Amino acid sequence: MLPTLRETVNFYGLMANKALGQNFLLDSNITDKIIRQSLSRQNIHDFKNFNIIEIGPGPGGLTRSILGAEPQSLTVVEMDPRCIKIMEDLRAETDTPMSIINGDAMLFNPTENIASPRQIISNLPYNVSVPLLLKWLTQIKDLSALTLMFQKEVAERITAPTHSKDYGRVSIIAQLTCSIQKLFDLNPECFTPAPKIWSSVLLFQPLENAISAENIAKIEKITALAFGQRRKMLRQSLKSINNISDKLEQIGIAPTARAEEVSPQKFLELSKLV
């Protein structure tokens, strides 16, 4: 029988490592809620038909909740070697086929060697949450869903509408690839150690017409220019693009508009002209 999470953390002397962006979630009521709400929003009862990938399992709180939803298989990717033995203990106690990878999630390709359909679930390391998300969005057509925890302010950037201060590159790319739902927010006191900020759990489900990795690369370049000088008119911030005013007018964007006024769909249309 497995020890409790707190007993596990104490036994292994597992203090969270700030350099790895770690904040441990040790309350099984909350980890169970993440899985329960993710399943509910996807209109499924369990993960029996899915191969699940968990990034940064740490001491295994969310891992236990994932295993409780009976995935077809579970692959965990953990950079901290201190947590590998904990994962091995979990593997010994479960009937679920479980692979343990001690490595950097930024170098891990979730679509290699893991059969479809696949889902990614993670209490993301906060210091690499946006790069990881953007990487997975380029592969979203090969993923069934992402259930991810972010800093609340990052989640607000991802879901931000046009005309808001939080709207930007990540909002546009995420909204052109996925339907995004916020499941719930988490108080800092839910974590060990408690961070200074709130967190949010988001569910991403790929759109049928999700844009391609090639489109994403173009949009990243355009939005880097547009939001790099977000207070300037687009004819100025995008002046390095040939005939930019003509291209903007061709798709119904005023050259005097600013980046935050342009919808994700219009940025997509612009990317097809450059």
DSSP track, 252-263 = T--TT-BGGGS-
Domains of the chain (ranges; CATH) run 5-206 (3.40.50.150), 213-271 (1.10.8.100)
**Residue pLDDT, tens place only, 192-246:** 767 778 999 999 999 999 898 999 999 999 999 999 998 999 999 999 999 999 9
Q: What mean pLDDT do residues 23-42 have?
A: 92
59 against 4, higher pLDDT: 59
* The predicted structure's pLDDT at residue 195: 72
* The predicted structure's pLDDT at residue 11: 67
* The predicted structure's pLDDT at residue 189: 84
**Residue pLDDT, tens place only, 155-178:** 999 999 999 999 999 999 999 999
Residue 53: partners with Cβ closer than 8 Å, 6 or more residues away:
74, 75, 76, 77, 110, 114, 118, 119, 120, 121
Q: What mean pLDDT do residues 237-259 have?
A: 96
Structure tokens of 259?
A: 């980046």
* The predicted structure's pLDDT at residue 9: 67
Q: What mean pLDDT do residues 105-130 have?
A: 93
Question: Is-contact 210 140, C-beta < 8 A?
Answer: yes
Of the pLDDT bands very low, low, confident and very high (cuts 50, 70, 90), residue 134 is very high
* The predicted structure's pLDDT at residue 272: 93
Q: Is the pLDDT of residue 21 over 60?
A: no
DSSP track, 131-152 = HHHHHHHTTGGG-SEEEEEEEH
Q: Is the pLDDT of residue 16 over 60?
A: no
* The predicted structure's pLDDT at residue 196: 79
Q: What is the mean pLDDT of the chain?
A: 92
